[in-house]
Amino acid sequence: MKFLISGVVPIAFILLTLQSGLTSCVKEVIIRDTTTITKIDTVTIRRTDTLTIKDTAMSEAILTANAWKIQEVQGVLEGTIIFYIRGGSSNTGNYDNDYYVFRPDKTGFSIDAVNGTHNISRWEFANPEKTKLVFTYFNVPSISSTITWDNIRYKNKSLHYDNYYTDNNTNMDYHGQEIRTPR
């Protein structure tokens, strides 16, 4: 009997207390008017919709509005990894001076990482969606390469794209992902 009072009764009391504390019900509000009594369930249902914001459509006006400096590069040049983030400490090269200028007359120029100037001719969008840009880039006056920027997206005032080409001056292949911002 002593075991029953000292062991089972306190445990039963705790279990009954927990059960009533954990089994709360839905709150109810009763609204009374002169003719009816209405019972309203106060459970709140939240609906969250996902809003997808598309990137701004690329255009000639966006491309020619600014000079475009490198913000970020991740690529491979003939097996050598290229990594650059403006202001970063683990960069494999310095592209602080690198930028492109595209003019409305389909010409332009580029200043490379070591301040060399390269002319651009015949730039054009290669598809109606304007997500692919192709242009001729002159390494030296007589040697040119065709550069392709593919999957171009204009997002947060930046150009995001895949860049690929074969450098006809060095016969090296390049492929990378780049982000450019207005200079």
| Residue 22 belongs to some domain of the structure | no
| Residue 44 belongs to some domain of the structure | no
| Residue 1 belongs to some domain of the structure | no
SS3 label, residue 12? helix
How many distinct structural domains can be found in the chain? 1
| Residue 33 belongs to some domain of the structure | no
Domain that holds residue 164: 60-182
In which element (H, E) is residue 22 found? helix 9-22
Instruction: Please give the structure tokens belonging to residue 157.
Output: 């005032």
Indicate the pTM of the whole model: 0.70
Least confident residue range of 34-38, 75-79, 98-102 = 34-38
Query: Tell me: the pLDDT tens digits for 99-116?
Result: 999 999 999 999 999 999
pLDDT at 93: 95
| Residue 47 belongs to some domain of the structure | no
Of residues 99, 72, 68, the one with CA closest to residue 86: 72
Q: Tokens 């970063």 map to which residue?
A: 88
SS3 label, residue 113? coil
Query: Tell me: the pLDDT tens digits for 166-176?
Result: 999 899 999 99
Residue 99: CATH number of its domain: 2.40.128
